[in-house]
Chains A and B, each alone.
Chain A
Amino acid sequence: MKLYCLSGHPTLPCNVLKFKSTTIMLDCGLDTTSVLNFLPLPLVHSPRLSKLPGWVSKDGTLNLEKELKECAGRVFVDSQPEFCLPEKELLDLSTIDVILISNYHCMMALPYITEHTGFTGTVYATEPTLQIGRLLMEELVNFMERVPKAQSATCWKNKEIQRMLPGPLKDAVDVWTWKRSYSMQEVNSALSKVQLVGYSQKVELFGAVQVSPLSSGYSLGSSNWIIQSHHEKVSYVSGSSLLTTHPQPMDQSSLKNSDVLILTGLTQMPTANPDGMLGEFCSNLAMTIRAGGNVLVPCYSSGVIYDLLECLYQFIESANLGTTPFYFISPVANSSLEFSQIFAEWLCHNKQSKVYLPEPPFPHAELIQTNKLKHYPSIHGDFSSEFRQPCVVFTGHPSLRFGDVVHFMELWGKSSLNTIIFTEPDFSYLDALAPYQPLAMKCVYCPIDTRLNFHQVSKLLKEVQPLHVVCPEQYTQPPLTQSHRSDLMLELQPPPMPYRRCSVLNLPFRRRYERVYIMPELANSLVPSEIKPGISLATVSAVLHSKDNKHTLQSVPKPPPVPPSKKRKRVIEEPPVVLAPKPLLSGAVPLEAFLATLQKHGITEVKVEETADGHILHLQAEDTLIQLEEDGTHIVCDNNEPLVEGQDFPNHSNI
């Protein structure tokens, strides 16, 4: 069993597991941190961004002013933002049989994997994962396509040139694999390969392996996966959460007794408490509004935003914000809000019971009904005429490089009354803000990452007791910035097996047994005998049938009766048909009991002679010699019929 690691990002994993004759891809996360190296894509013409100076190396030998721009002391690529794809060279992607998706954030690279690679397999995901994943992809494509950029910068990627560039561009890895966004057509084609699954549904793969998604508690429809055969079990843990937010709670007990547990998607903010962050978010928001400023919340269109809105729903009245407009701007804002209400089965118990009443599970329905929350597909159109300040705007993309958020940065960045509150943990906020510097607006960083922290995960592992743990190398050492915090890493016995991008791990796994089914007819014909207390043996002779990786044992068919022929055949001309079971003998023949049995059969004249290894019995009347030894019996006689049958041997196991 092997694990191919195609992504180095611990929360956006992409691994391939080869297990029994199947090749299973576990998630295909798209590392979007690469976009931080690019200039923002403004929705309306930005004089500031269009007047940036091109970059020329200090000695003037390198001139890339068309591709690279200097902005606020850093160099950015002036091109459509590109993403860092999972490794494509490590193995042939067309050999992948299935892709298992754990949550909608971890499927963003799907079109790169399933399209134009010869992939012919199936993708498994839950319904919310598919629907919300589709929305996020649609949003991404929309963000890119509505501000098309003609030029595509490639010169800077040249190894020789990249070496000369200032950081962080100089240190960016695998820049040649960076790709622009896919098209909607590719998204649709990729998603048409998705087959929906429900929690705890058992999906058979080619009869060899069974996979099953388990609730992971992180987001709507998010799952961990169990990949097992009858004798081996691999657990794949991706973004999971033990906090009570909106999704169904995490199923922990089903992870027990794994041979290997692949652990990814731990919190990216191990030191930030989500509840504390939520409190800070609310108080900063209220403070800014009261002072007459606007609040900008760059966020994804699904996920934590539901919790933020729920929190605000309770907070608005008490904080006297009843008249403040809340805007949610995204091409998929409406869909995201609507979809969140129809997945009752995937929600936590509290929300489920609301649906039984019947009431919408999320209170944002009421916020919309009372006009406190308004959603718009973009800043163009209705929004521009209905927009009132001061207000709170939720909009994407959290990287601040594309989407409507770019416009609000340009609009509000100059005033210190306004505040930007970062809630998504995927991007470093300083890097995200870099091209907007100098900035007057206040910045508040309240990353809310509900995924498991190190404390929770070590407790979990203690409980489920996997034999081996595989995890990204980042989890085996403390974070670079907090190297003294040995509590911010995984310490296990045996130590976890770390992986990084392009690793190929041999998982410590020996398969010893496989499942076969004995057909009823054969089962009835078996004669078990008890060998030791509680242990019985039976010899089995059967015909093995293997079909679709399922094995059955059937009785040996009886040969058709030989048709009576006129000619007397002296000898059998056919080669022998192996029919009768091959008996198995064990143990030794006890002398006294054997003699008694012989006597019972009327054989009395027995001369016993002791030898080095046992005895020789001379049956004088029959002129037969029987040699009894510890591990063998030899009968020598004159006539053709052997004297005693095997089963007459006392205390002698005929298995």
Chain B
Amino acid sequence: RSCILVSIGGKNIMLDCGMHMGYNDDRRFPDFSYITQNGRLTDFLDCVIISHFHLDHCGALPFMSEMVGYDGPIYMTHPTKAICPILLEDFRKITVDKKGETNFFTSQMIKDCMKKVVPLNLHQTVQVDDELEIKAYYAGHVLGAAMVHIKVGSESVVYTGDYNMTPDRHLGAAWIDKCRPDILISESTYATTIRDSKRCRERDFLKKVHESIERGGKVLIPVFALGRAQELCILLETFWERMNLKAPIYFSTGLTEKANHYYKLFITWTNQKIRKTFVQRNMFEFKHIKAFDRSYADNPGPMVVFATPGMLHAGQSLQIFKKWAGNEKNMVIMPGYCVQGTIGHKILNGQRKLEMEGRSTLDVKLQVEYMSFSAHADAKGIMQLIRMAEPRNMLLVHGEAVKMEFLKGKIEQEFSIDCYMPANGETVTVTTNPSVPVDISLNLLKREMALGGPLPDPKKPRTMHGTLIMKENSLKLVSSEQALKELGLNEHQLRFTCRVQLQDPHSDTDTLHRIYTHLKSVLKGYTIQHLPDGTVMVESIVIKVSSSTEDPNTKVLLLSWSYQEIYIYL
């Protein structure tokens, strides 16, 4: 599950508020006492951002906002805002009504929580307050999934949530611009996998389903109501159409119709192809897929059933699984990742005897297949995103430690940036090096740019001089003269004159001329002028000669320079 707290430029932002589905006790929810021991979350958090509607990213939201207490803004995209309360309610029903648990949020709490939600549009820059701004990017993964760019002053963080870098049958690929964040926080569910091409996986999936149907078996596909389910439905629908298959396909629970309706109304969040053709043919109107009824599970003959939830940890999918597990003709296809502790996770690890509630055991005889359809970025995708965003630091979350370690090595090697992978409850501090924005007077800038010539010369950097005026919260860089003028100060000239005596029988003018020729011969590359008023100037140092009053052969050399020049030449 995901729940990350980011402190940036004095702002505290909670990224996702997920729930662990493997636990049934307090460990299910994040430990919010970690954030603040005493005092309200509202005072501490500036905002909460939810990346998408999966419960491991938003499941603890009503608990946090209504039971722990948080009244500040919660940001999520429109589809997430629409779908998230349905999944929360669904989950609440299973937990409270079926399992009879108490100390859980109520329907009213979900509603109250959703009232605190501010919808977020893609690419819209939302000013949370004067300093904190957030911007959402398309993340693929599921309908309405977003990555967020969080910026305070010149520091920034990108949080990916879950994302997918390859377009699939119903969603597009994640995209972000070159925003160069200080930290990129990326999920790493498939940190080590580089998955084969989508087409192969799809063909594989269809082949397995088809074979099972041919030999009269039943196929169970545990899914979450929204997301992967729609992609697989599109896939099976077109396959059934093409192969002219007759075996029924069912989709469990009343969510189907509703879920598909969400896809129709939020069609702008799907992929290019579906969006282009939706007026003529809406891809989410299925001909072959019908609503499931509990009694159908005992019907003879082959069938395909999509049932919720996806990890076989509760609900209808678990019920059907129990019914079908004993027959080796049947098959269960797990199209996504399963959290540790769930039955889905156990059977994928090859466990063939399952302990059920009430000390009974269940023999698993049906075929178990794993098809990674869950739309997470694989190692290649994560690297691709790093290339897109060009972060200065990398932080991996939402994955397994061993796999993350491998990816961390790869990232550090390829991009030479620091990569962190904190465990739950761990704090990572990343020092940033922000530059200071300053207002420069246009006169000074233009003068400097004109002097610097059209093209910069890296070998001969030109130094610009100016004075920085710091007044209240403004920083202004102006020329020194302007600074004095603006502040009503007079410039103070500090000059030094040094008398050097030397013996020289020539006249004053001759002595000066000899000095001039001598300097001219030794100081090459300097501007040396012999001025008609009887002075020699080396750059801006003035040299004068006068005879001593007592002895005409003793000449007094007056060298005069201003305080500023010592700094320049010494």
- Please list the residues of chain A having a beta carbon within 8 angstroms of any beta carbon in chain B: 127, 197-202, 212, 230-231, 334-335, 338-339, 341-345, 352, 355-356, 358, 360-361, 511-520, 523, 526, 528, 531-532, 534-546, 551-553, 556-557, 570-571, 573-576, 578-589, 630-640, 642, 646, 652-653, 655
Contacts and interface: CB of A to CB of B under 8 A. Distances in A.
A438 B448 CA distance: 74
Interface string B262-275: 10111110000000
B470 interface: yes
Contacts of A576: 526, 539, 568-569
A578 B568 CA distance: 6
B125 A573 contact: no
B469 A535 contact: yes
A516 B442 CA distance: 10
B570 interface: yes
Contacts of B261: 358
A230 B452 CA distance: 23
A585 B464 contact: no
A531 B487 contact: yes
Contacts of B569: 576
30 contacts: A200-B127, A201-B124, A231-B439, A514-B439, A515-B440, A516-B477, A520-B436, A523-B436, A531-B487, A540-B468, A542-B463, A543-B461, A543-B462, A544-B462, A557-B461, A573-B524, A574-B525, A576-B569, A581-B567, A582-B480, A584-B480, A585-B493, A630-B490, A633-B492, A633-B495, A634-B493, A634-B496, A646-B494, A646-B563, A653-B489
B126 interface: yes
A198 B77 CA distance: 13
B340 interface: no
Interface in B434-485: 434-442, 445, 448-449, 452, 456, 461-472, 476-477, 480, 483-484
B467 A352 contact: no
Contacts of A197: 123
Nearest to A643: B496
A263 B231 CA distance: 47
B539 to A, nearest CB: 8
Contacts of A634: 493-497
A582 B564 contact: yes
Nearest to A625: B497
Contacts of A511: 442
A74 B570 CA distance: 90
Given A584-B491, A586-B491, A541 B522 contact: no
Contacts of B471: 534-536
A515 B526 contact: no
Max chain A C-beta neighbours (<10 A), residue from B119, B278, B489:
B489
Contacts of B124: 198-201
Contact of B470 (A517, A519, A535, A579): A535
Nearest to B472: A534
Contact of B122 (A198, A520, A636, A637): A198
B468 A528 contact: yes
A88 B480 CA distance: 47
Contacts of A571: 522-523
A553 B563 contact: no
Interface string B117-152: 001011111110000000100000000000000000
A542 B464 contact: yes
Interface in B27-67: none
B526 A552 contact: no
A215 to B, nearest CB: 10
B499 interface: yes
B568 A198 contact: no
A543 B464 contact: yes
The 5 A-B pairs of least Cβ separation, nearest first, read: A632-B493, A585-B492, A586-B489, A517-B435, A636-B497
A558 to B, nearest CB: 11
Contacts of B472: 534
Nearest to B468: A538
Contacts of B549: none
Given A343-B268, A553-B464, 4 more contacts: A345-B119, A352-B119, A513-B439, A544-B445
B279 interface: yes
A230 B492 CA distance: 34
B555 interface: no
Nearest to B122: A198
B364 to A, nearest CB: 37
Contacts of B436: 517-518, 520, 523
Given A523-B435, A536-B470, A538-B467, A585 B563 contact: yes
Contact of B440 (A551, A573, A584, A646): A551
Contacts of B515: none
Contacts of B466: 539-540
B197 interface: no
Contacts of B290: none
B494 A633 contact: yes
B78 interface: yes
Given A517-B437, A631-B490, A355 B78 contact: yes
Given A534-B472, A580-B567, A344 B465 contact: no
Contact of B469 (A199, A344, A356, A537): A537
Contacts of A361: 265
Nearest to B567: A580
Given A358-B261, A540-B477, A345 B563 contact: no
Contacts of B78: 344-345, 352, 355
Contacts of B428: none
Contacts of B349: none
Nearest to A632: B493
Given A198-B124, A344-B265, A537-B467, A635 B497 contact: yes
A230 B439 contact: yes
Contacts of A513: 439-442, 476
Contacts of A341: 265
A641 to B, nearest CB: 9
Task: Determine which residue in A361, A535, A588 has the highest number of CB atoms from chain B within 10 A of its CB, and name it.
Answer: A535
Contact of A638 (B442, B490, B498): B498
Nearest to B439: A513
A581 B566 CA distance: 10
A580 B525 CA distance: 20
A516 B124 CA distance: 26
A344 B461 CA distance: 54
Contact of B437 (A342, A356, A515): A515
A528 B470 contact: yes
B258 interface: yes
Contacts of A532: 487
Nearest to B475: A518
Contact of A632 (B445, B470, B487, B494): B494
A581 B465 contact: yes
B299 interface: no
Contacts of A526: 468
Contacts of A542: 463-464
Nearest to A578: B463
A518 B490 contact: no
A538 B480 contact: no
A531 B499 CA distance: 35
B499 to A, nearest CB: 5
Given A355-B265, A534-B471, A539-B480, A556 B494 contact: no
B433 interface: yes
B81 interface: yes
Interface in B254-295: 258, 261-262, 264-268, 278-279
B82 interface: yes
A539 B568 CA distance: 14
Nearest to A655: B467
